[in-house]
Amino acid sequence: MTLDAAAARIMTRCDELAAISALPDGILRAYLTEEHQRHNALAAAWMAEVEMETWQDAAGNQCARLEGREPGLPALIIASHLDTVPDAGRFDGIMGVLLGIETARLLAPYAKDLPFAVEIIAFADEEGARFGATLLGSRAMAGTWDPAWWEAVDAEGISMAQAFWDFGLDPERIDDAARAPKDLVGYLEAHIEQGPYLEAAERPLGLVSSIAGARRFRLAILGEARHAGGTPYERRRDALVGAAQAVLDVERIGRERGVIATVGQLETRPGAVNVVPGEADFSLDLRAESDALRDAAWQEIHAALAGFCAQRNLELVVEEIHAAPTVSCSPRLTRALAAGAAVTGDTDPITMYSRAGHDAMAMAAVTDIGMLFTRCEDGISHHPEENVMSTDVALALQALQEAVWVLAREHGERAAR
Chain positions contacting Zn ion, by CB under 5 A: 92-93
CB of 188 to Zn ion, least distance (A): 15
Cβ pair 270, 278 in contact under 8 A: yes
CB of 81 to Zn ion, least distance (A): 6
Among positive and negative, which fits the CA dihedral 153, 158, 162, 166? negative
Q: Which CB atom, from 239 or from 397, has the smaller least distance to Zn ion?
A: 397
Q: Which CB atom, from 67 or from 92, has the smaller least distance to Zn ion?
A: 92
DSSP 8-state class, residue 214: P
CB of 74 to Zn ion, least distance (A): 26
Q: Which CB atom, from 115 or from 195, has the smaller least distance to Zn ion?
A: 195
Q: Which CB atom, from 93 or from 349, has the smaller least distance to Zn ion?
A: 93
Q: Which CB atom, from 92 or from 102, has the smaller least distance to Zn ion?
A: 92
Q: Which CB atom, from 197 or from 405, has the smaller least distance to Zn ion?
A: 197
Please confirm whether the linkage preceding 270 is cis (ω < 30° from 0): yes
Q: Which CB atom, from 126 or from 368, has the smaller least distance to Zn ion?
A: 126
- Measured between alpha carbons, how far is 19 from 347 in angstroms, rounded to an integer? 38
CB of 318 to Zn ion, least distance (A): 30
CB of 126 to Zn ion, least distance (A): 6
CB of 147 to Zn ion, least distance (A): 25
Beta strands 369-374; 184-192: pairing state: parallel
37 sits in which H/E element: helix 34-48
Residue of 256, 282, 258 whose CA lies nearest to 269? 282
Cβ pair 261, 284 in contact under 8 A: yes
3-state secondary structure of 116: coil
82 sits in which H/E element: none
Residue of 78, 345, 372, 328 whose CA lies nearest to 211? 328
Q: What are phi and psi of 370, to 5 degrees?
A: -140, 145
CB of 144 to Zn ion, least distance (A): 19
1: exposed, middle or buried (Cβ count in 10 Å: 0-12, 13-18, 19+): exposed
